[in-house]
Structure 1
Amino acid sequence: MKKALKIIGITLLILVAVLLAIPFMFQSQIKDMVKRFINENVNANVEFSDVNLSLLSSFPQAHVSVDDLVITNFEPFKDETFATAKSITFEMSVKELFKKVDEGPIVINTINLNEALLTLKTNKFGDVNYDIVKEKEGQNENTSTEEASFTIDVKDYAINNSAFTYLDEESNITFYITELNHSGNGTFSGDISQLDTKSEAKVSLSLEDTEYLSNNIIKLDALIDLDLENSKYSFKENKGYINQLPLEFQGYIKMLDDGQEMDISFENPGSDFKDFLAVIPKEYSKNIENVATTGNFKVKGNIKGVNNDTTIPHLDINISSNNASFKYPDLPKRVENIAINASVKNDDGNIDNTYLNIKTLNFKIDQDVFKSSATIKNITKNMLVNADIDGVLNLANITKAYPVSIDKELSGILKAKLNTAFDMQAIETNAYKRIKNNGSVSITDFIFSSEDIVNPIHISKADVTFHPGIVSLDSFDARTGKSDLNATGNINNLLGFLLSDGKLKGNFNVKSNTFAISDFMVADTEVAAKNKTTSEEESLKIPAFLDCTIQVDAKTVLYDNLTLKNVKGVLRIKDEQADLDNMTSNIFDGDIAISGLVNTKNKTPLFNMNLGIKNFDISQSFTGLELLESLAPISKILQGKLNTTINLSGDLDEEFSPKLSSISGNALAELLTTEISSASAPLLSKLDNALNFIDFSKLDLKDLKTKLDFKDGKVNVEPFDIKYKDIKITVDGSHGFDKSMAYNAVLEVPAKYLGSEINRLIGKINDPAVENITIPVTAIIGGTFMTPSVKTDLKTGITNLTKQLIEIEKQKLLNQGSEQLGNIIGDVLGGTKPKTDSTKTQENNPIKDVLGGIMGGNNNNTNNTPKDSTKTTPTKPTIEEGVKDVLGGIFGGKKKKETVKDTVK
C-alpha cells in the first residue's frame, strides 16, 4: 500500500512538473506560431511584448495570453495606430495547441480583451484603414462550405474597459464609444444560434460640426438570434437605455455584400414626462427620481432600409408631449404648460435630406411665456436653419426652476420677437446677404460674466433690432468695475459670435464718463475664470473674440496711475491687437496725441507708440510717468512746460506698463519758461561745490531743445547748449534707466569768474583783448542721480590761462617801440631808475617779474655796483608764485556762496 501511494505521489509530482515545464519548453514555438498566424492573415505591422502559456492554472484547459498588442497600418495610413490592447487571453483545450494545419480549425472556448482601443478611419479619398485581412491564394467563391467552415464553441467572452473610434473624413462624421464593457455567451456551432449580451458605454456622435450625442450613457441587454447562414441578426427581449430613458426595440439587421439591411422599431415603454428629463445627460438633469411631473412624453421611431455607401435607412422618429410640467423638490419654481412636437425624418434614403422639424417647443415659468419653433435641414452638409422665437424670459428663474450649473447667477429680463433664417456657411464666411433676421430683442438689468472679461458687466438696458444682413445696437447702457458705457452701432455677425467660434464684429460709438482700461482686460490662463486680478506670472490679454472699430468719447480714462481727460479718437481691435488712431486727451495741464498699437497675441505683449505732447507740466508729468522720468530724470526738479514728440516700442509687463529695459526709440523735447527747484537735487549740489562761480539753480533753460535716442535700457543725449549769464555750457552723454550717468559738460568760462587774483592779473595787463579770454572747463559727471560724482579739469584750465596771459603781455611788449623797450630793459638790468618816494616801499611789478623770468635774470646787479646795505629791496614774486596765488584763491578752501557771488559781481 505504501508503495502504491509512493508511486501515485511521484506520478503526481512528475505531472505537475511537466505542466510547469511545458510552457517554457514550447514558449518560443508558441511565439513563432502566433507570429506566423499574424503574418499569414494580417496586412499590417503587428507588435507584442510577450506570449504566455499556462497549463496549470486552467488545467485541463490551456491558458494563452498576448500582452501589449499594437497594430499599425501600412500605406496610405502609414504608422497610424489601428488597434492596441493591454492583453488578449484565450482558453482552449490543450490538444488544440498541437493541431496541425490540415487537422481543422482551432476551437477557442473563452476570449477576454482588456483595455483595447480600436480606430476605424476613412480618409477624404475613400480609403479605409481596417481592410487589413489578407486574401488567401486560391480562395474564391466556389470554395466549398465544408472546406471554409469552422466551429467555435464560445462559453464566455468579454471586452473590458475599452474604446472604439470611427472617423469619416469624407462625410465629416465622428463617432466615439468610451468606457465600453461588453460580455456575452452563446453557441456558434449550428446555423441558428443565440447570443446573450450585456453592454454599457458612453457614446458621442458628431455630423459636420454639430454634436448630437455627448458622452451619453448607453445600456443594452440584448438576446440576439444568429442566422449565420443568411447573416441575419434578430433582436428579441431587448431593453436599452439612453441616459436614463428606457427603450424597448425589436427588428433585425441583415448583412449584405454592399451594406446592411435593417428594420428596427423602438419606443419608450411608459409615457410619463419624467422620461423626457431622462434623455438629458445626468450631469445636467441631476437626480430625477423625486421630480414631480405631470403630462405625457412619448418617443417612437422606426429605422427601415439599406445602409451602404450611398444610402441610409429611412427614418421616422417622433417626440411629443402635451400640457406637461415638472418641479424639482429643492427649487422654488415650476416649469409648466410644456408642449413638444418634434420629429427626425428621412424619406428617401439620401443622408443629405435628413431633417429635424420642431413644430412646437413652448413653456411657462411664473407669468413668462416662451414660444419657439424651428426646422433644421441639410444636417450633414451646409445646415439650413429657420427659427421663430416669441416670448419673455426672466433669466433669474432658469436656475430657480432647473438645476443647471452656472458659474455666475443669471439675472435680467429677456424679451424677443424674432425670425431668423440662415445657413451655417453664411455664418462662418460672413455672407450677410444669406443671413435673414427680422425682429427685435431687448434685455434689462442683465449681468454678464465670462472668462473673457475681468469684471461682470451690468447691462441696465440694451435694445437690438434685427435686419437682413445686419444687427443694429439701438441702445446699450452698462457698467463694469469703475467704468460706465453708453453705446450705439452695428453688429455684423451676432449669430456667428453666438452660434460658432466667430468674432464679435461691428462698429460702435462709445461714450463714457469714466472708463478704466483695467476693467476690460482679461488675465491670461485660469485667473480670468475666477474673475481675479492677474498675478505676476500672468499678463493681461485683449479679448480674442473682438473685431471692431470704436469711436471713443470719454470724459475720464483711467490707465494705471494716470487720469486722462476728454479722450477722443478711434480704437480698432482685432486679433488681440488694439490700434489707436489720433487718440487725443488732456493730461498734466497739457495735451497729448497718441497713435500706435498694443499687441497681446504673443506671450509677451508688445507696443509701438507715437506720442505728441504739448504744454505738459514738467514736474507732474515726469513724476507721474515712469517712462518720462527714466528718459530725463533731471526733469523732476524743473518747473515749467514741455513740448515733445516721442517714438517708442518695446514689451509690456504683467500690468500693461512698458518694460523699461526693452524699449527703444527717440524723442525731441523743448522746454518752455522753466525754473529750477534744486532743493532735493544731489547733482546740482555736487556741481555747485565743484564749480563755485555758477549758481546752477539760475541756469537759463528757456527754449532749450534736445534730441534723445534710447535702446537696451540706455538713453543717449545729443549735444545741446545752455547758458549761465555769459557762460556757454555744452552738454552731451548718456544715462541708464537704472539712473546711472555718463555725461560731459564743457563750460566756456570767462577769466573774470576765476577769482580776485586772476582779476588783478588781468587789470595789470590793461589790454581789451584780455576781457574776452575764456577757458574750457570740462565737468565729467558719473555715478547716479541720487549719488552723483563730478570731476573737473579746472586746475589745468587756470594753468593754461596763466600761460595765455603771459603770452599776451609778451606780445604787447615786443610790439612797443625800441626806446620804451630799452628803458624797461635798463630798468630791469639795474640802470637809471625812476625816482621814487624814499619813504615808500617799492611796489611789486608782476610784469617785470614775468619778463625777468623770460630774460633769464634773477634781479642781480649786472654792473657790479655794490648794493646799499642800508636799503631793503622787496623780493619780487616769481611766475610760479603768482600762479600759486591764483590757484590758492580758487582751491585754497571752501568759499561761501556769498563770496562767490561778490567775486562775480
Structure 2
Amino acid sequence: MKKALKIIGITLLIIVALLVAIPFMFKSQIKDMVKRFINENMNAKVEFSDVNLSFLSSFPQAHVSVDDLVITNFAPFKDETFATAKSITFNMSIKELFKTADEGPIIINAINVNEALLTLKTNKLGDVNYDIVKQKENQNTEASADEKGFTLDIEDYAINNSAFTYLDEKSNVTFYITELNHSGKGTFSGDVSQLDTNTEARVSLKLDSTQYLNNNTIKLDALIGLDLENSKYTFKENKAIINQLPLAFQGYVQMVDEGQDIDISFENTGSDFKDFLAIVPEAYSKNIEDVATTGTFKVKGIIKGLSSDTTIPHLDIKVTSNNASFKYPDLPKSVENIIINASVKNDDGNVDNTYVDIKALNFKIDEDIFKSSATLKNITKNMFVNADIDGVLNLANITKAYPVTLEKELSGILKAKLNTSFDMNAIETNTYQRIKNNGTVGITDFIFSGEDIVNPIHISKADITFHPGTVSLNSFDARTGTSDINATGTINNLLGFLLSDGKLKGNFNVKSNTFAVNDFMVAETETATKNKTTTEEASLKIPAFLDCSIQADAKTVLYDNLTLKNVKGSLKIKNEQANLENLTTNIFDGDLAISGLVDTKNKTPLFNMNLGIANFDISQSFKELELLQSLAPIAKILQGKLNTTINLSGALDEEFSPDLASVSGNAIAELLTTNISSENAPLLSKLNGAFSFIDFDKLDLKDLKTKLDFKDGKVNVKPFDIKYKDINITVDGSHGFDKSMAYNAVLQVPAKYLGSEVNQLIGKINDPAVDKITIPVTATIGGTFTAPTVKTDLTSGVTNLTKQLIEIQKQKLLNQGTQQLQDLIGDALGGTKPKNDSTKTQTNNPIKDVLGGIIGGNSTNTNTADTTNTETAPKKPTVEDGVKDILGGLFGGKKKKETTKDSIK
C-alpha cells in the first residue's frame, strides 16, 4: 500500500512538474502560434510585450495570456492607435495549442480582456479604421465553419475596466463608453443559441453640437437570442437603467446586406414623475429617493427601420407628464403644475429630417407661472430652433425649489413674452437677417456677480424689446458699489453672444451721476485674489467679447484720487481695444480733452493719447497728477493757470496707470497769470543765494511758452525765455523722471547789478549808454529737485565787464582829446580877437604861435601886465600847452616843464 501511494505521489509530482515545465518548453511555439494567428487574420500592426502559457490555473485547459497588446492602423489611419489592452487571456483545450493551419480553426472557450481602450473612427471621406480583418481568398458566404480560421465556443467572457470611443467625422457624432464592465455567457458556434449578459458603464453622446447624454450611468441586463445563420440578434428579457430611470425593451437587430434591420421598442416600467428626475444626471438631481412627487411621467419609444450609410431607422420617442409636482425635503419651495409633452421623431429615414417637438414645457413656482414650447429641426446639421416663452420667474426660487448649485446666488424677477426663430449657423456667422426675435423681456431687482466683477451689480430695472436682428435696450438702471448707471441702446447679436462664441455688438448711451472706476477694477487685496480679475501673468483686460460703441455722459467720475466733472465723449470697444473720441471733462478748475487708444491685446496693456488741457490750476494739477509732476516737477510751486497739449504713448501698469519708464511723447505748455509760491522749493533757495540781485519769487512767468519731449524716463526742454525786471533769462536742458536735473539758465545781467567797483567805473564814465551794457551769466543747475546744485560764472563776468568799462573810458578820453585838437586847429586857422576885450590882444599870427609851440619855438607874450615880474607870477596855460597835452595823450609822449623848446622825436 505504501509503495502504491509512493508511486502515485511520484506520478503526481511528475505531472505537476510537467505542467510547470511544458509552458517554458513550448513558449516559443506559443508565440509563433499567436503571431501566425495575427498575421493570418489582421491587417494592422500588432505588438505585445509577452505571451505566457499556464496549465495549472485552468487545468485541464490551457491558459494563454497576451500582455501589453497594441494594435496600430495602416493607411489611411497610419500610425493611429486602434486598440490597446493591458492583458488578454484565453482558455482553450491543450490540443488547440498544437493545431496547424491545415487542421482547422482554433476553438477558444473563454476570453477575458482587462483595461482595454478601443477607438472606432470614420473620417470625412467615409473610411473606417476598424476594417482590419483580412479577407480569405475565394471566401464567400457559403463557406463552412471548417474553412474559417477562427471560431468561439464560449462558456463565459468578460471585459473589465475598459473604454470605448466612436468618432464619426462624416456625421459629426461622438460616442463614449467609459468605466465599462461587461460579462456574458453563451455559445457563438451554434446556429441558434443565446447570450446572457450584464453591463455597467458611463455613456456620453453628442450629435453635431447637441449633447444628448453626458457621462450618464447605464446598467443593462440582457438575454440575447443568437441566430448566427441569419445574423439576427433578439432581445428577450431585457432591463436597462439610464441614470436611475428603469427601462424595459424588446425587439431585434438583424444584419442585412444594406446594413442593420432594427425593430426595438422601449418604455419606462413605472409611471411616477420621479422617473423624470431619474433622467437628469445625478450630479444635478442629487438623491431623489426622498423627493415627494405627484403626477405621471412616461417615456415610450419605437426605433424601426434600416440603418445604413444613407438611412436611419424611423423614430417615435415620446415623453409626457401631466399635472406633476416635486419637492425636495430640504428645500422650502416646490415645483407644481408641471406639464411636459415632447417627442423625437423621424418619419422617413433621412437623418436630416429628425426633429424634436416640445409642445409644452410648463411649471409653477409659488404664484409664478412659466410656459414654453419649441421645435428643433435639422438637428444633425444646421439646427433650426423656433421657441415661444411666456411667463414670470423669480430667479431666487430656482435654488429654493431645485438642488442646483450656482457659483453666485441669483435674485430678481424675470418676465418674458418672446418668440425666437434662428438656425445655429446664422448665430455662428452673425447672419442677422436669419435671426427672428419678437417680444419683450423685463427684469427687476436682479443682482449679478462673477469672477470678473468687483462689486455685485444690482439691476433695479431693465426692459428689452426684441426685433428681427436687433435688441432694443429701452431702459437699464443699475448700481454697483458707489456707481450708478443708466443706459439705453441696441444690441445686434444677443443670441450669438449667449449661445455661441460671438461678440456682444451694439450701440449704447450711458449716463451716470457718479461713476467710480474702482468699482470695476480689483485692488491688490484679498478680493482681487478671490475674484481673479487679474493674475500675476496678466493685468486687467478689455473683454474680448465686446464690440460696441458707447456715448458717455457722467456728472462725476472718480478715478484714483481724481474727481472729474461733466465727463462726455465717445468710446469704441473692439478687439480688446478702447478708442476714446472727444472725451471732455472739467478738472482742476479747467478743461481736459482726451482722444486716443488703449490696447490690452498683449500681456502688457499699451496706450496712445492726445491730451488738451485748458486753464488748469497749476498748483493743484501738478500736485495730484503724477504724469505732470514727472514732466515738470518745479511747476508744483507755481500758482496760476496752465494751457498745454500733450501727446504721449507707453505701457500701463497693473493699476491701469501709465508706466512712466515706458512713456514717450511731447508737449507744448503755456502759463497764464502765474505767481510763485516758493515754500519748500530748494531750487529757488539755491538760485536766490547765487544771485543776490534777483528775487526768483518775483519772476514774470506770464504768457510763458515752452516745448518739451520725453522718452526713456528723460524730459528734454526746448529753450524758453523768462524775465525779471530788466534781466532777460533763457532756460533749456533736461531732467529725468527720477527728479535729476541738467539745466542751463543764461541771464543777460545789466552792469549796474554787478557791485560797487563796477558802479564807480560807470560813475566816472558818466555816460547814459553805459547803463544799457549787459553781460551773459550762465547758471548750471544740477543735482535733483530736492537737493539741487547751482554753479555760475558771475565772477568772470564781472572781471570781463570791468575791462570792458576801462576800455570804454579810454575810448571816451580819446574821443574828447580828438575833439579838443579839432577845436584848437579851427581856432588857429580862422580865429579873431575877441570882441569887447580891452585888456588882451591877439597875436598877429596865431598859426605861427601854435606850430611854433609844437616844433619847440618861443612864444611871444604881449601881455604887459606880466612883463614886470616873470619870475614870480604863475604861468597861465596856453594853447600850446593844451595841444601838447592832447597829443601826449594820443601818442604817449612826455610833457616837458620847460616852455622854451620841445624836441620832436
Q: How many angstroms apart in 2 are the aligned matches of 1:119 and 1:673?
A: 83
What CA distance in whole angstroms lies between the structure 1 residues aligned with 2:12 and 2:788?
Answer: 101
Q: How far apart in 2 are the matches of 1:161 and 1:792?
A: 91
Separation of aligned partners in 2, 1:802 and 1:461? 85
Deviation at 1:239, TM superposition (A): 0.9
Task: Give the drift of 1:367.
Answer: 1.7
- The CA deviation at 1:590 is 0.8
Corresponding residue SS for 1:295: strand
Aligned counterparts of 1:697 and 1:3: Cα–Cα separation in 2: 133
Alignment of 1:210-289 (within 5 A): 210-289=210-289
Aligned partners of 1:794, 1:133: CA distance in 2, in Å? 106
Amino acid at match of 2:403: P
Cα distance in 1, alignment partners of residues 548 and 329 from structure 2: 46
Preserved CA contact (<8 Å) 2:452 2:533 = no
Task: Show the counterpart of 1:895.
Answer: none
The one-letter code of the counterpart of 2:778 is: T
Distance 1:185 1:167 in 2: 29
After TM superposition, give the deviation of residue 646 of structure 1 in Å. 1.5
Match of 1:466 in 2: 466
TM alignment of 1:645-794, pairs within 5 A: 645-764=645-764, 770-794=770-794
- Cα distance in 2 between the residues matched to 1:758 and 1:150: 127
Shift in CA distance, 523/164, structure 1 to aligned 2, threshold 3 Å: farther
* Code of the aligned partner of 2:112: N
The question of 1:476 aligning with 2:476 is answered yes
Return the alpha-carbon distance in structure 1 between the equivalents of residues 116 and 730 of structure 2. Answer: 83
1:137: Cα distance to partner? 4.9
Task: After superposition, give the CA deviation of every residue in 1:127-180 in whole Å (9 maximum; x if it has no partner).
Answer: 333333444455555754421153323344333333222222222222222222
Name the structure 2 match of 1:628.
628
Amino acid at match of 1:148: K
The residue number in structure 2 matching 1:200 is: 200
State TM-score, norm by structure 1: 0.84
- Aligned residues between the structures: 828
How far does residue 244 in structure 1 lie from its aligned partner after superposition?
0.8
Residues 609-661 of structure 1, C-alpha deviations (whole Å, 9 max, x = no match): 11111111112222222122122222222211111111222222222112122
Given that 1:450 and 1:529 are in contact with CA atoms closer than 8 Å, whether structure 2 keeps it comes out as no
Larger deviation, residues 699-708 vs 72-81: 72-81
On the 8 A contact 1:522/1:543 being kept in 2, the answer is: no
Instruction: Assess, with a 3 A threshold, how the Cα gap between structure 1 residues 533 and 507 changes in structure 2: closer, same or farther.
Output: closer
CA 1:294–1:142: 2 relative to 1, 3 Å: closer
Whether the 8 Å CA contact 2:396–2:409 is kept in 1: the answer is yes
Provide the C-alpha distance between the structure 2 equivalents of 1:602 and 1:345, rounded to a whole number of angstroms: 49
- Amino acid aligned to 1:461: K
CA contact (8 A) 1:453 1:543 kept: no
Please list, as runs of the form range in 1=range in 2, the aligned pairs for 1:132-151 lying within 5 A after superposition: 132-137=132-137, 139=139, 143-148=143-148, 150-151=150-151
The answer as to whether partners of 2:451 and 2:532 remain within 8 angstroms in 1 is no
Structure 1 residue 697 displacement after superposition: 2.1
- Tell me the amino acid that sits aligned with residue 299 of structure 2: V
- Distance in 2, matches of 1:615 and 1:551, equals 26
C-alpha distance in 1 between matches for 2:427 and 2:717: 56
Q: 2:337 is aligned with what amino acid?
A: N
Cα distance in 1 for partners of 2:369, 2:137 equals 71
Question: How much has 1:34 moved relative to structure 2?
Answer: 5.1
Q: Counterpart of 2:180?
A: 180
Deviation at 1:586, TM superposition (A): 0.8
Query: How far does residue 295 in structure 1 lie from its aligned partner after superposition?
Result: 1.0
Contact 1:451 1:528 in 2 (8 A): no
| 1:165 and 2:165 matched | yes
Q: Which amino acid aligns with 1:416?
A: A
Aligned mates of 2:66, 2:780 — CA distance in 1 = 84
Alignment-derived partner of residue 434 in structure 2: 434
| Aligned equivalent of 1:363 | 363
**What per-residue deviation string (whole Å, max 9, x for no partner) do you get for residues 556-606 of structure 1?**
112222211111111122232222111111111111111122222322222
Q: What amino acid is the match of 1:713?
A: G
Change (3 A) 1:11 1:357: same
Q: Which one is further off, 801-810 or 293-302?
A: 801-810
Change (3 A) 1:473 1:63: same
SS at match of 1:297: strand
Which residue type is aligned with residue 242 of structure 2? I
1:375 corresponds to: 375
**1:797 Cα shift?**
3.9
Does the C-alpha gap of structure 1 residues 669 and 295 become closer, same or farther in structure 2, counting only changes over 3 Å?
same
Distance 2:20 2:751 in 1: 116
Alpha-carbon distance between aligned partners in 1 of 2:466 and 2:204, rounded to the nearest angstrom: 35
Separation in 2 of the partners of 1:88 and 1:793?
100
Moved more, 361-370 or 350-359: 361-370
Matched-pair contact (CA < 8 Å) for 1:285–1:404: yes
Q: Is the 8 A contact 2:104 2:149 kept in 1?
A: no
* Cα distance change, pair 210–685 in 1 and its aligned pair in 2 (3 A): same
Larger deviation, residues 230-239 vs 429-438: 429-438
Worse overlay, 279-288 or 729-738? 729-738
Native 8 Å contact 2:105 2:148 kept in 1:
no
Structure 1 position 186, deviation (Å): 2.6
* Cα distance between partner residues in 1 of 2:571 and 2:32: 73
**Cα distance in 2 for residues equivalent to 1:3 and 1:797:** 140
Q: Where do 1:450-465 residues align within 5 Å?
A: 450-465=450-465
Task: Report the Cα distance in structure 2 between the residues aligned to 1:722 and 1:15, rounded to whole angstroms.
Answer: 119
Match for residue 115 of structure 1?
115
- Greater shift in the superposed pair: 373-382 or 31-40: 31-40
Q: CA RMSD in A?
A: 3.5
2:546 is aligned to 546
Q: Is the 8 A contact 2:678 2:697 kept in 1?
A: yes
Separation in 2 of the partners of 1:734 and 1:77? Answer: 69
1:425 aligned to 2:438? no
Contact 2:781–2:791 (CA under 8 A) maintained in structure 1: yes
Closer, same or farther: CA 452–819 of 1 in aligned 2, 3 Å: closer
Q: CA 1:277 to 1:679, structure 2 compared with 1: closer, same or farther past 3 Å? A: same
| Counterpart residue number, 2:292 | 292
Which residue of 2 is the match for residue 562 of structure 1?
562
1:333-412 matches, cutoff 5 A: 333-412=333-412
C-alpha distance in 2 between matches for 1:577 and 1:774? 57
The worse-fitting range, judged by mean Cα deviation, of 299-308 and 143-152 is 143-152
Mapped partners of 1:78, 1:789: distance in 2? 79
Shift of 1:329: 0.7
CA-CA distance at 1:470 after TM superposition:
2.4
Q: Alpha-carbon deviation of 1:790?
A: 3.0
1:752/1:303 Cα in 2 relative to 1: closer, same or farther (>3 Å)?
A: same
**What is the deviation of 1:780?**
3.0
Deviation at 1:305, TM superposition (A): 0.7
Structure 1 residue 284, shift from structure 2 partner: 1.1
Distance 1:768 1:25 in 2: 133
Contact 1:580-1:595 within 8 A present in 2 as well = yes
Distance 1:237 1:795, change over 3 A: farther
Give distance in 1, aligned partners of 2:79 and 2:217.
Answer: 32
Aligned-residue identity in percent: 82
Change (3 A) 1:260 1:641: same
Checking the alignment, whether the CA contact within 8 Å between 1:521 and 1:541 is kept in structure 2 is no
What is the CA distance between 1:377 and its match in structure 2?
1.2
State the one-letter code of the partner of 1:667.
Answer: A
Asked if 1 retains the 8 angstrom alpha-carbon contact of 2:89 and 2:113, the reply is yes
Report the equivalent of 1:617: 617
Q: Partner of 1:196: helix, strand, or coil?
A: strand
Q: Distance in 2 between matches of 1:273 and 1:259?
A: 38
Secondary structure at the counterpart of residue 541 of structure 1: coil
Contact residue 441 and residue 465 of structure 2 kept, 8 A: yes
Q: Deviations over 1:856-902 (max 9, x none)?
A: xxxxx999xxxxxxxxxxxxxxxxxxxxxxxxxxxxxxxxxxxxxxx
* Deviations, residues 72-109 of structure 1 (Å, cap 9, x unaligned): 44444344443333444445455544443333333444
1:141–1:322 CA distance, 2 compared to 1 (3 A) = closer
Which runs of no fewer than 5 residues in structure 2 stay unpaired? 822-887, 897-905
